[in-house]
């Protein structure tokens, strides 16, 4: 009957205190205790007694037993490929708040860009009966989300679906944000605008590039092939992108870097080459992080609505959880906003400095 679960360092033994123990000690029925524990009404006198006993015995309801009955875990899971960069940090921070508001906990699962990992995580989370899954997907044709879908767990996909169907998806409208920020450059008088592209094949990189391409087209300015620099959303390509650009016979007067990591790299290169911003080069970047404000000049940037994104994700999960499938499966696109700072100026007529370090 008594279950010794743990040999404490000191040598004393501990046993789990169950709802039965509390009932016995309080001289009440198990069901009464249960009711009280779930916020039900009990006689004030009994409430006192129970409270005292629970406290004294240090009783905590067993989560497994509880889950076994009502199959809820009060947990929302986030499936993310990695934890790099402020982007993840900001997302998690917002999500944390939202999830707390739902009375749930957040279970962050980092699948390390591995298909194997994400598959086993989905199975794990399904077995755990999490209340919902928010996923930043990996590129694969496998439908790794199937177990969760079958178990009826609400799923929200962020950004790229890579072909996965039958899930709600949430995106940031990168195309229009890129359009706007490049348009800002144009309105300042820039024509020679370079762009460092994102990873080939990703929806976000395509959209961000498209935004650029479309303004140029709409304003009727030609796009120079050499100003379209390949990138892969990583530091190094930002660094090298600027290096390449500065070796060009005709240099651009403005640069649009399409994500945060690359903009760090680009800045390092810019400083290294002693390029003066915005005199010689105006710079705008996608993603607005701490760095944007600590760097001089501060960066004009696209600020992604990560808070709204997470809010909407939780809202959707709650809705689906409650059996409301209005608009399922749906796609929502949230607008980003541009934060104007000091890294954009008018182009100078002759700004080429030949003696750049």
CB neighbour list of residue 241: distance below 8 Å, 6 or more residues apart: 196, 229, 230, 231, 257, 262, 265, 266, 269
Query: Residue 129, by phi and psi: left (phi above 0), alpha (psi -120 to 50) or beta?
Result: left
Is residue 62 part of the contact set for DNA (CB under 7 A)? yes
Q: Which does 297 bind (CB under 5 to 8 A by kind): a copy of itself, DNA, none?
A: none
- Give the range of 82-90, 172-180, 206-214, 307-315 binding a copy of itself by CB under 8 A: 82-90
Give whichever of 43 and 337 is closer to DNA, judged by the CB atom.
43
- Give the range of 24-32, 74-82, 195-203, 333-341 binding DNA by CB under 7 A: 24-32
Residue 352, judged by CB atoms within 10 A of its CB (0-12, 13-18, 19+), counts as: exposed
Rg, the chain, Cα only: 27
Which of 31, 38, 48, 82 binds a copy of itself (CB under 8 A)? It is 82
Count CB-CB contacts under 10 A for residue 131: 23
Count CB-CB contacts under 10 A for residue 262: 29
Residue numbers 335-354 binding a copy of itself by CB under 8 A: none
Which of 13, 20, 56, 331 binds DNA (CB under 7 A)? It is 20
Is residue 48 part of the contact set for a copy of itself (CB under 8 A)? no
Is residue 107 part of the contact set for a copy of itself (CB under 8 A)? yes
CB neighbour list of residue 54: distance below 8 Å, 6 or more residues apart: 22, 37
Is residue 151 part of the contact set for DNA (CB under 7 A)? no
Give whichever of 68 and 83 is closer to DNA, judged by the CB atom.
68
Is residue 68 part of the contact set for a copy of itself (CB under 8 A)? yes
Which of 4, 6, 24, 27 binds DNA (CB under 7 A)? It is 27
Secondary structure (DSSP) of 163-190:
T--SSEEEEE-HHHHHHHHHHHHHHTT-
Is residue 34 part of the contact set for DNA (CB under 7 A)? yes
Q: Which does 46 bind (CB under 5 to 8 A by kind): DNA, a copy of itself, none?
A: DNA
What is the β-pairing status of strands 155-158 and 193-196? unpaired
Is residue 41 part of the contact set for DNA (CB under 7 A)? yes
Give the span between the Cα atoms of 280 and 346, in whole angstroms.
9
DSSP 8-state class, residue 343: S
Q: Which does 30 bind (CB under 5 to 8 A by kind): a copy of itself, DNA, none?
A: DNA
B/e letters for 214-225, b = 16+ CB within 10 Å, e = fewer, are bbbeeeeeeeee
Q: Which does 31 bind (CB under 5 to 8 A by kind): DNA, a copy of itself, none?
A: DNA
Q: Which does 241 bind (CB under 5 to 8 A by kind): a copy of itself, DNA, none?
A: none
Is residue 239 part of the contact set for a copy of itself (CB under 8 A)? yes
- Give the range of 33-41, 120-128, 156-164, 278-286 binding a copy of itself by CB under 8 A: 120-128
Is residue 69 part of the contact set for DNA (CB under 7 A)? yes
Give the span between the Cα atoms of 262 and 204, in whole angstroms.
14
Which of these, 105, 58, 106, lies nearest to 79 by C-alpha position? 106
Is residue 32 part of the contact set for DNA (CB under 7 A)? yes
C-beta of residue 222 within 8 angstroms of C-beta of residue 215: no
Give the span between the Cα atoms of 256 and 190, in whole angstroms.
12
Is residue 129 part of the contact set for DNA (CB under 7 A)? no
Give the span between the Cα atoms of 144 and 149, in whole angstroms.
10
Residue 213, judged by CB atoms within 10 A of its CB (0-12, 13-18, 19+), counts as: middle
Which of 20, 101, 139, 236 binds a copy of itself (CB under 8 A)? It is 236
Q: Using CB under 8 A as the criterion, which residues of the chain lie in contact with a copy of itself when the complex forms?
A: 5-9, 14, 16, 58, 60-68, 71, 82-86, 88-89, 92-93, 96, 100, 105-110, 112, 117, 121, 123-124, 126-129, 147, 150-152, 166, 235-236, 239, 264-265, 267-268, 271-272, 274, 290-291, 294-296, 323, 325, 328-329
Q: Using CB under 7 A as the criterion, which residues of the chain lie in contact with DNA when the complex forms?
A: 1, 3, 16, 18-20, 27-32, 34-35, 37-38, 41-43, 45-46, 59-62, 65-66, 68-70
């Amino acid at each position: 009957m008594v279950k010794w679960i743990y040999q404490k360092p000191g040598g004393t033994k501990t046993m789990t205190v169950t709802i039965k123990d509390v009932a016995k000690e309080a001289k009440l029925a198990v069901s009464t205790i249960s009711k009280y524990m779930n916020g039900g009404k009990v006689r004030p006198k009994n409430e006192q007694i129970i409270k005292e006993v629970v406290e004294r015995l240090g009783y905590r309801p067993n989560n497994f037993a509880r889950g076994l009955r009502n199959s809820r875990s009060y947990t929302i899971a986030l499936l993310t490929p990695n934890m790099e960069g402020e982007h993840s940090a900001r997302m998690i921070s917002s999500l944390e708040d939202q999830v707390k508001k739902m009375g749930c906990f957040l279970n962050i699962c980092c699948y390390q860009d591995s298909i194997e990992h994400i598959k086993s995580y989905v199975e794990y989370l399904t077995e755990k009966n999490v209340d919902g899954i928010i996923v930043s997907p990996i590129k694969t044709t496998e439908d790794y989300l199937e177990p969760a879908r079958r178990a009826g767990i609400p799923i929200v996909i962020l950004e790229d679906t890579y072909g996965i169907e039958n899930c709600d998806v949430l995106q940031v409208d990168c195309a229009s944000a890129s359009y706007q920020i490049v348009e800002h450059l144009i309105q300042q008088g820039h024509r020679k605008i370079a762009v460092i592209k994102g990873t080939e094949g990703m929806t976000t990189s395509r959209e961000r590039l498209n935004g650029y391409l479309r303004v140029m087209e709409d304003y009727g300015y030609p796009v120079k092939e050499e100003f379209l620099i390949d990138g892969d959303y990583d530091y190094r390509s930002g660094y090298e992108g600027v290096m390449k650009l500065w070796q060009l016979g005709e240099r651009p007067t403005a640069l649009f870097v399409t994500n945060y990591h690359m903009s760090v790299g680009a800045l390092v290169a810019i400083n290294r080459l002693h390029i003066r911003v915005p005199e010689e080069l105006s710079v705008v970047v996608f993603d607005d992080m701490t760095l944007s404000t600590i760097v001089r000049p501060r960066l004009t940037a696209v600020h992604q609505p990560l808070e709204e994104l997470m809010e909407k994700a939780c809202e959707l999960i709650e809705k689906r959880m409650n059996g409301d499938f209005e608009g399922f499966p749906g796609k929502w696109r949230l607008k980003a906003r541009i934060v104007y700072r000091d890294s954009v100026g008018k182009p100078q007529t002759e700004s080429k400095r030949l003696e750049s370090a």
